Amino acid sequence: MGKRGPSKGRGGRPKMPLAEKLLNGNPGKKPIKVLDFGNIEDLEGEQIPKPREYMIASQKQGEIIAAEIREELWKWLKERNCEKLLPMLLIDQYAMSYARWIQAEQAVSEYGSLGRHPTTGNAQQSPFVMIAQNANKQTLNIWGQIYEIVKENCSSDYRPFSAADDMMERLLTSKR
């Protein structure tokens, strides 16, 4: 007989984001865990650490943009005061995975989604398609981890603004 119920650690109601708890007055009445940074005027900004060598190394298939993606994510985290909540390794993994996905998609665009089998000569799916799918899956998985940490610890609006998100929100909250 197969496994029943949610996977371990995923059962029950999902956690409410900190920003919503603060806005709604903490409906669960559990103590809210808010990080205390003391006097904010005394804090100094920290620059993003330099990328590791493998993130900027030259590639056979053109330039890899992992360092740019990493810096973009760091700025997004810094705007939400969450850059210290995430290990740099997770940020680096996301940037590399995202960059590999882009690289694979560029290869699919350049070489096409079909190729010839090396021994039979028959048409087959390009290996770059599978590489792109795997990199995309890994990227979304890592992004899910990052987003959960930010959502659970950010006291301001943690979502990147998107007109499509706003429209969907209005559709979902409108009365029928």
Query: Where do the structural domains in the chain lie, given as residue ranges?
Result: 66-157
Report the pLDDT averaged over residues 62-87: 86
Which of 64, 59, 51, 60 minimizes the C-alpha distance to 100?
64
- Bridge partners of residue 62, in order along the sequence: 59
Where b means 16+ CB within 10 Å and e means fewer, 29-39 reads: eeeeeeeeeee
Q: What is the pLDDT of residues 80-137, one digit of tens each?
A: 888 888 888 999 999 999 999 999 998 899 888 888 888 888 888 888 999 999 999 9
Which residues are CB-neighbours of 54 under 8 A, at least 6 positions away? 96
Give residue 131's region: left, alpha or beta (phi > 0; psi -120 to 50): alpha
Comparing 54-58, 79-83, 124-128, 162-166, the range with the smallest average pLDDT is: 162-166
Question: Hey, how many other C-beta atoms are within 10 angstroms of the C-beta on 15?
Answer: 12
Residue 138 confidence class, pLDDT cut points 50, 70, 90: very high
Which of 128, 120, 121, 86 minimizes the C-alpha distance to 104?
128
Inter-CA distances, 162 with 75, 76, 149, 151, Å: 17, 14, 20, 17
